[in-house]
Structure 1
Amino acid sequence: MNITVWNEFRHEKKNETVKEIYPNGIHEVIADFLQEEGRTVKTATLDEAEHGLTDDVLNNTDVLLWWGHVAHEEVDDEIVKKVQQRVLDGMGLIVLHSGHFSKIFKTLMGTSCDLKWREAGEKERLWVIDPAHPIAEGIGEYFELEHEEMYGEHFDIPAPDELVFMSWFEGGEVFRSGVTYKRGNGKIFYFRPGHETHPTYYNENVQKVIQNAVKWAAPVKRERPVYGNAQPIETIKGE
């Protein structure tokens, strides 16, 4: 499996708190725990040529992970179209935390993807809503993050194909924090935790969920359906 971890990589360069937690970037931490035998894990960042997502990289990526926050509008629309097409062709996409506002997620969802938020370093409890789902494998009935940014409903997304996790926050809000979609031949998983000023991606449960999601999102080995005018399979007798 070929995995690409994309990160805009801006906070880590400008914010000392983030730099201390993720000195080499959020993408490097995620790439590190995704390393397994038989996998090739690469990283790509916003300021690289073509945002690191060249045709060669995209065409050889089975699952793409996406983290963005302050620079969504700097992502080139042509790159977004290429990523969208790769998802429709079967590439898996895992959108993390503030990537809910990324161009690619909003394009694939067709909605604003807006929500309520609050930075108060409060407790988040993530409940497993679908215990039979492979993304929840190895996770208990719930797990907790002691300090996280709050995201609250209403989350302006289409009704998910599957709801895997629901979050409760210390301030009282709830949030659909783990949802799946199918678009074309591709599978998409949005996972909420991961605010840059908290060490969320070092948490074993968070890592387990993302590892499971990568396996789940791996492409199905088949061609896309053929669309447009079609010749009959059977003989049409007519009237």
Structure 2
Amino acid sequence: MTTVTVWNEYRHEREHDVVADLYPDGIHATIADALEDRGFETNTATLDEPEHGLTEEVLDDTDVLTWWGHAAHDEVDDEVVDRVQQHVLDGMGLIVLHSAHLSKPFRRLMGTSGSLNWREAAETERVWTIEPGHPIADGIGDYFEVPDAEMYGERFDVPQPDDLVFTSWFEGGEVFRSGCCWTRGNGRVFYFRPGHETYPVYHQEEVRRVLGNACEWAADAADAPGPSVSNRSEPIEDIDSDDERSVH
């Protein structure tokens, strides 16, 4: 069974009543419930746990890590970021959600700022399926709408996605690359835009389906063989290998 660790800052839910009303047990619990319903084994981890809940042992047992962060990106310890990055390179999937575009693990893996334009006005978001044949788009249809959303607009400072699964249009007229896939090392990374904390986005059926699809897609890379390197002692072709200049 695929194991998913759902990570969340878990700050807004404890500090703001409007968020607590929507997610009384935390955004992480709502996402974990959706993924459990899909058949995944789920664990949760939060910022204020020791090592942010992401010990080496936890990540060793994780096939896919989902990440929701917003107000406390700078509080994530760089040692944990190093650990997450290495596990992704080794084959762990990473699903980056909404405002985690500025999270340390995502920016590290992308090598860019992750910056974008935004507006919080509870406007309609129409999420268009750009690649209907992609596994993450399975069962979604041509588009779905998020009734109340925070606008994210281009330019989104990320590398060109390997696959662009969804593009969003907002009531105010902006567009945004809202479902992006990358490969990093032996791992798969998916960024999914919907999910502002003051709106019930993670209770929405289409969003929950995308999350499940994304975890299945990302987990498919976990069993692929990793790269191997060695000092090949025997050459493939005949060469004169008697060279005394090596410093190794």
Superposition TM-score tier, normalisation by shorter sequence: over 0.9
Q: Which residue of 1 aligns with 2:227?
A: 225
| Alignment TM-score, normalising by the size of structure 2 | 0.93
Q: List aligned pairs for 1:113-128, cutoff 5 A.
A: 113-128=114-129
Per-residue Cα deviation, 1:191-227 (whole angstroms, up to 9, x for no partner): 0000000000000000000000000000342331113
Structure 1 residue 40, shift from structure 2 partner: 1.7
Per-residue Cα deviation, 1:3-54 (whole angstroms, up to 9, x for no partner): 1000000000001100100010000000001015863200000000100001
**How many pairs were matched up?**
238
Q: Runs of 4+ in structure 1 displaced over 4 angstroms? A: none
Q: Which residue of 2 aligns with 1:149?
A: 150
SS of 1:127's partner is strand
| Percent identical residues | 60
| Alignment TM-score, normalising by the size of structure 1 | 0.96
RMSD of aligned Cα (Å): 1.3
**8 Å contact kept, 2:90–2:186:** yes
1:26 aligns with 2:24: no
Q: Which moved more, 1:153-162 or 1:35-44?
A: 35-44
Cα distance in 2, alignment partners of residues 86 and 138 from structure 1: 30
Change in Cα spacing, 1:139 to 1:38, as seen in structure 2 (3 Å) is closer
Change in Cα spacing, 1:65 to 1:37, as seen in structure 2 (3 Å) is closer
SS of 1:35's partner is helix
Unaligned runs of 5+ in 2: 241-248
**8 Å contact kept, 2:38–2:212:** no
Q: Which residue of 1 aligns with 2:244?
A: none
1:172 aligns with 2:143: no
User: What one-letter code is carried by the residue in structure 1 that aligns with 2:226?
Assistant: R
Structure 1 residue 228, shift from structure 2 partner: 5.5
Q: List aligned pairs for 1:1-239, cutoff 5 A.
A: 1-36=2-37, 39-218=40-219, 219-227=221-229, 229-232=231-234, 234=236, 236-238=237-239
